[in-house]
Structure 1
Amino acid sequence: MLLDKPKINQKIPEELWKFKEEFNISFLDIFIVNGNKIYALEDCSQKETNICRPINGLINSNLIHIACSHGKVTYHIVDGKNTFPFLNENLMIEICIPIRGEKYSNIDVCVYFGLTNKEVDVKNLLSSFLRRFNLAEIYLYAFLMYCKLIKLRNFLNVFVTLEDMIKVNFPSLQLHLFNVAFWAVEIAKKLNFTNKEQEKLYLAGILHDVGKIKIRSEIINKKGSLTNEEYEEVKRHVEFGYVIAKEIIGDIYPDIPVWVKNHHEMYDGSGYPEGLKGEEIPLPSRILKVADVIDVLYSPRSYKTPVPVEKIVAELNRCKGKDFDPKVADIAIEVIKEKVVLPTDILRVSERRIFPAMLLLHFGEGKEVCCLNGYFYFDGTRGYFKLIEIVTNKLDLRNSVSAHLVIEVLSSIYEYNVHAIPLDETTWLISKIRTVEKNSCVCMLWNLEAFIITQEGRISVNIRKLSEEDLLFECNSMCEFDTSQLYKMEVLFENGEELILNGRIVCNYPVTKESSYYKYAFVMVSDTTKERLFKQIFRKHIDLKKRIEEVCTSR
């Protein structure tokens, strides 16, 4: 079908969803076919489609390719003599409606129906669809979405390259970018930002300090105070950031570079680079300003200890109307109160984001585990892992029997069992994502000090997360622990109580050159000791919320 002079209809996904519900269609998707590659563009099922193969890895004998190559409606009914695979093993009928544009003849759009009921009247379904929908509108909508998808993928490739350079040369910046993006989106949710606005703000968050790559690394990594000349140089990062953001994402989201440039403007007009005041500053920039300060104060650095949560709240209160938009600061305090105990499943609360991550590929019991460093991100409803390093391991990575995804954010890690399918040398499709954490797991927004007792002495560590079976602590990467040895741990609480734990360090996850996370599995720790440990955690939780309330009411 050749189309000419199409018109745009932004309500196509909503209309397709209604059609799907009306005719009880199990899967209704829009695909783009460009040569031998297929892109899943729009899932109108409102949930993951459970397609059992990576879309751009499907063999050429699938129904989508056949329909597009012949240029006519094609359907396939299961009959026990199937010569090519269904996209989902539970389907009984597949229908493909190919649409071809005159101007872009090398790119086809395919509307795909997947049905689990073999008794559906296919002719009635097709005639109803063709009466209700303008195929030209569907093509143009799909083509524009495809162009945006390709640009976003190009952005991700450029961003991953930048981030790899940041990780090596500016180690304190890497997690900071993602933490700021997290806090910014949590604030935006309470300001009723739409999902699309939240997504844009997240991208602005991970780009807000990208201009610092143009500043000398010895200044960015300096552990002491900056001189006036150094501070003036650092201030230029917002304008450098504007140029970089405009170059890599400005044609997709032209307002993101502006938000990046203005994230150091002050509410009273005393900021930089333009001295904007009040609502002259874009709201997303005002949010980024607050989120930036929260993470600068909260996150540990080699040259400073983290500021206690109640003091972060006090600083937000103190600077309302001066540095910060009062409304944004108040909402940020609400968010902090809610996140005193952090979520145990970061992907559930931060869908469709990009995170620093490690992919651990397992090759069977007793065999080597391959640890890959990179980024995890959602592209539509599907998750992907992008490798950022050269793999020196001689194992065939396609032969792994299981996989483990580790996400780094908010000075902690989040672990998931996943199904990983290699798409090419640097990309894995990630599906069947299941959190490893138990219901009893607690992630903390405050530091819990402890000491590991070794033969050489006591090593200071910070506990980040604990459950009934184990805990996660952070310490210097230079520390070497024997995974076959038992270690005692002293846990110190503010009220003077001290607990002695016994356990084994079962694995570690390097975060930066300076620090790593270690999982400490309890060994012969009594239920009484665990109960005392959790009581202290929840006492701290309640006490911290009380202190935050006191800070807010004392103003």
Structure 2
Amino acid sequence: MFDIDTNIPKWVYEHHERWDGKGYPQGLKGEEIEREARILKVADTIDAMISERSYKKQMDLKEAILELKSCKGKDFDPYIADIAIEILSEKLNASKQIIDEIMLPANIMIRSGSKINSLNGFVYKEKKDIVFISTKPVDDFEEELIDSIKLAVEKFNILYEYKIKTTIIDTNKLLINEIQPVESEVAFGLLWTLEGNLVNTTTRQTNVITITKISGEGLVFNFEDEEYIDEKGIYVVIVRFEDGTNVPLSGRIIGKTKINKLTHYVFKFVDVREKYRDEVFRQIFRKQISYKKMLNE
């Protein structure tokens, strides 16, 4: 049922090797290391850097870029490291590219202690300012009591999330003073529209879904059915990649954002077999490399 490359164990075995030959277990050097293992090494390192762990805080994208630059040609294949650096650099400018003069469907979530205020509306640029128009009046709030404010923007059915600071300038109008992309465990994910299935492991019920973003730690999906989803359940998402590979990924839903009639779900992988996670990394990096080749042609 699932078509997984039989070379994956070899790539996993070699992904601790270093470009300069000082790695393990065989001390391979340069192109003696399988290309997929070199890709996996960079992807695995980035995932570790920008994800929070029990023993460390996550790095921001600038720190991850500096680390890649300092280690390329030593730990990493310099060509693959340069591609990764370019991808991360593009993410730093994401907010400037998404929000423009066209009104985009959006949601603002204001969290204060256990209280959450959710506002649906639209976001757009007004000269140099970024403005959010709410579909309902906005209650006044005291900034010092706010824990966090997040903005979710929908463009072509893809969800983009930001941390923001705002000021109320009218009964239903907010001025966004500061904005930065949310760097979560799905931060290194690729915006990639793929088909898939969501399978409830208890009831075996299956829904056809559209995946819009995928990383080594999780993915984001949506579907048009208004059917109830048990957010406490354990699911398997079967991702159908463009080359025909089907990869089963177990996990749980850790968040959702509804903008207009479309609900976007954040799905975090749990107890995913290593070979399936490595296949996801391989697919992501191959897709990124193919994008760069197309842009350079």
Q: TM-score range by the shorter chain?
A: 0.5 to 0.7
Report the RMSD for the aligned CA atoms in angstroms.
Answer: 3.2
Provide the TM-score with structure 1 as the length reference.
0.33
Confirm whether residue 490 of structure 1 aligns to residue 238 of structure 2.
Answer: yes
Which protein has the larger Cα radius of gyration, Structure 1 or Structure 2? Answer: 1
Percent of aligned pairs sharing the same letter: 27
Q: Greater helix percent: which structure?
A: 1
Confirm whether residue 539 of structure 1 aligns to residue 286 of structure 2.
Answer: yes
- The number of aligned residues is 201
Residue ranges of structure 1 left out of the alignment (5+ in a row): 1-342
CA-to-aligned-CA distance 1:489-527 (integer Å, 9 cap, x gap): 1112343422111111122222343x3211111223355
In structure 2, the partner of 1:360 is: 109
Give the match's secondary structure for 1:539.
helix
In structure 1, the partner of 2:163 is: 417
Q: Which amino acid aligns with 2:263?
A: S
In structure 1, the partner of 2:219 is: 471
Tell me the distance in 1 between the aligned counterparts of 2:256 and 2:272.
21
Residues 477, 516 of structure 1: 8 Å contact kept: no
Residues 352, 380 of structure 1: 8 Å contact kept: no
CA-to-aligned-CA distance 1:529-555 (integer Å, 9 cap, x gap): 322112123434556888x89xx9xxx
In structure 1, the partner of 2:197 is: 451
Aligned counterparts, 1:145-184, within 5 A: none
Counterpart selection for 1:505 from 250, 253, 256 = 253
Counterpart selection for 1:460 from 185, 208, 211 = 208
Aligned counterparts, 1:43-192, within 5 A: none
Aligned counterparts, 1:373-392, within 5 A: 373-389=120-136
Counterpart selection for 2:148 from 382, 386, 402 = 402
Give the match's secondary structure for 2:284.
helix
In structure 2, the partner of 1:440 is: 188
Tell me the distance in 2 between the aligned counterparts of 1:462 and 1:350.
20
Residues 452, 487 of structure 1: 8 Å contact kept: yes
Residues 361, 397 of structure 1: 8 Å contact kept: no
Tell me the distance in 2 between the aligned counterparts of 1:384 and 1:512.
18
Counterpart selection for 2:176 from 421, 427, 430 = 430
Give the match's secondary structure for 1:537.
helix
Residues 107, 259 of structure 2: 8 Å contact kept: no
CA-to-aligned-CA distance 1:373-407 (integer Å, 9 cap, x gap): 1122333443222112357xxx7644543200011
TM-aligned CA deviation for residue 448 of structure 1: 1.2
Tell me the distance in 2 between the aligned counterparts of 1:526 and 1:371.
36
Q: Greater strand percent: which structure?
A: 2
Aligned counterparts, 1:267-346, within 5 A: 344=91, 346=94
* Residues 539, 430 of structure 1: alpha-carbon distance in 2 compared, 3 angstrom cutoff: same
In structure 2, the partner of 1:372 is: 119
In structure 1, the partner of 2:83 is: none
TM-aligned CA deviation for residue 425 of structure 1: 2.2
Residues 95, 180 of structure 2: 8 Å contact kept: no
Residues 463, 472 of structure 1: 8 Å contact kept: yes
Tell me the distance in 2 between the aligned counterparts of 1:488 and 1:356.
29
CA-to-aligned-CA distance 1:162-193 (integer Å, 9 cap, x gap): xxxxxxxxxxxxxxxxxxxxxxxxxxxxxxxx
* Residues 535, 431 of structure 1: alpha-carbon distance in 2 compared, 3 angstrom cutoff: same
Tell me the distance in 1 between the aligned counterparts of 2:146 and 2:153.
20
* Residues 362, 386 of structure 1: alpha-carbon distance in 2 compared, 3 angstrom cutoff: same
Q: Which amino acid aligns with 2:211?
A: I
Tell me the distance in 2 between the aligned counterparts of 1:518 and 1:350.
20
* Residues 351, 373 of structure 1: alpha-carbon distance in 2 compared, 3 angstrom cutoff: closer
Q: Which amino acid aligns with 1:482?
A: D
Residue ranges of structure 2 left out of the alignment (5+ in a row): 1-89
TM-aligned CA deviation for residue 346 of structure 1: 4.0
* Residues 361, 451 of structure 1: alpha-carbon distance in 2 compared, 3 angstrom cutoff: same
Q: Which amino acid aligns with 2:153?
A: I
TM-aligned CA deviation for residue 453 of structure 1: 0.7
TM-aligned CA deviation for residue 463 of structure 1: 0.8
* Residues 480, 533 of structure 1: alpha-carbon distance in 2 compared, 3 angstrom cutoff: same
Give the match's secondary structure for 1:423.
strand
Provide the TM-score with structure 2 as the length reference.
0.58
